[in-house]
């Protein structure tokens, strides 16, 4: 079973990276974690170019170098990301992400940051012709005290 991001290794190419970088810089938020001059983690999300969704940051993705996982880098990145959204992006009322249903560690991590499970999408993730995985759609609503 996979635990990382949904994309296959060959899908993580220059076009993919350029696309989320541009979308996040132009209409969202992106942060990186740097240690000893090297990027070791990244988190991004962006607002779709649809008027009705202007209050949403979606497709949230966080990655941390596997050799640096388990020491709090992902949590620090995520907490800083949420702090910036709450403080500086007052128009954002909702942040969305997907996580695999079987990855209970990630589900608990996202819940600890205020995300709630809004439902499962049975067999949405194609693994092979005979194998699929079910993601959970999770969202965090803006804190009333910050808006």
pTM over 0.85: yes
Query: What CATH code is assigned to 9-146?
Result: 3.40.630.30
Domain ranges of the chain: 9-146
- pLDDT > 90: what percent of the chain? 76
Give the angle 42-43-45 at the CA atoms, nearest 5°: 145
Other residues' Cβ atoms within 10 Å of the Cβ of residue 97: 20
Predicted confidence (pLDDT) per residue in 110-121, tens digit: 999 999 999 999
pLDDT of residue 4: 66
pLDDT of 146 strictly over 80: no
Other residues' Cβ atoms within 10 Å of the Cβ of residue 87: 9
- Give the C-alpha separation, 99 to 6, whole Å: 9
């Amino acid at each position: 079973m996979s635990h990382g991001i949904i994309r296959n290794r060959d899908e993580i190419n220059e076009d993919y990276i350029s696309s989320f970088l541009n979308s996040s810089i132009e209409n969202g938020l992106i942060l990186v974690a740097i240690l000893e001059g090297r990027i070791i983690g990244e988190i991004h999300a962006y607002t779709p170019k649809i008027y009705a969704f202007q209050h949403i940051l979606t497709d949230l993705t966080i990655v941390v170098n596997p050799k640096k996982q388990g020491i709090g880098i992902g949590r620090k990145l995520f907490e800083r990301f949420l702090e910036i959204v709450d403080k500086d992006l007052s128009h954002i009322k909702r942040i969305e992400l997907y996580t695999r249903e079987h990855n209970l560690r990630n589900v608990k991590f996202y819940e600890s940051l205020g995300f709630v499970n809004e439902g499962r999408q049975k067999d949405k993730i194609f693994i092979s012709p005979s194998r699929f995985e079910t993601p959970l759609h999770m969202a965090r609503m803006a804190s009333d005290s910050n808006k």
